[in-house]
Amino acid sequence: MIDFHTHTILSDGVLVPSELVRRAEICGYRAIGLTDHVDASNLDFVAPRIIKVAQELNRYQKVFVIPGVEITHAPPAQIGELIAEARKLGVVLVVVHGESPVEPVAPGTNHAAILAETDILAHPGLISKEDALLAKQRNVLLEITWLRKLMRNW
């Protein structure tokens, strides 16, 4: 099992990175992306810490740790700049929090993230068919959440 979308105490998670990775190891994960929430206010703080801890944990843990960030609630026009800055800082995995009815971000976020070629568009619930096709063309992965409760009704 692999999870590319997790959060630690560096954003809204409840565990330090090493505990999150250890728990993932116990659950049988092969890899985990540490992708804490960032915007322009904290990208330069979070990214170096995630990179450092990922490098250290990869020396000691079986689970492969991928250093990443999740750009969240940034203005769509700023998303490309933030992705470029994250990559410049050395982040390997960039996730963008997409347009979702549960936690609404600015309209146009999905499109901007796809145009900027984020690695993964998380929570893309309000994605248009055109943007889904554009994501495919640009090799942007879409996060899909499987909900058994919902699927039982199909």
Q: CA torsion sign, 125 to 79 to 71 to 84?
A: positive
95: tokens are: 């996730």
Kindly state the tokens that stand for 71.
């750009």
pLDDT in tens, 118-131: 999 999 988 999 99
Residue 130 is predicted with a pLDDT of: 97
Q: What CATH fold (topology level) applies to the domain 2-152? A: TIM Barrel (3.20.20)
Give the span between the Cα atoms of 130 and 122, in whole angstroms.
Answer: 17
Looking at residue 49, the DSSP 8-state letter turns out to be H
DSSP secondary-structure letter at 71? E
Angstrom distance (rounded) from CA 113 to CA 125: 14
Model confidence, pTM: 0.92
Predicted pLDDT at 34 = 98
Please list the ranges in the chain whose pLDDT falls under 70.
145-154
Could you tell me the two tokens for 55?
Answer: 């490098």
Place of tokens 């943007």: 131
Determine which helix (DSSP H) or strand (DSSP E) holds 130, and give its type and residue range.
helix 129-137
Instruction: Give the strands of the sheet with 2-6, arranged side by side.
Output: 2-6, 31-38, 64-71, 93-97, 120-122, 141-142
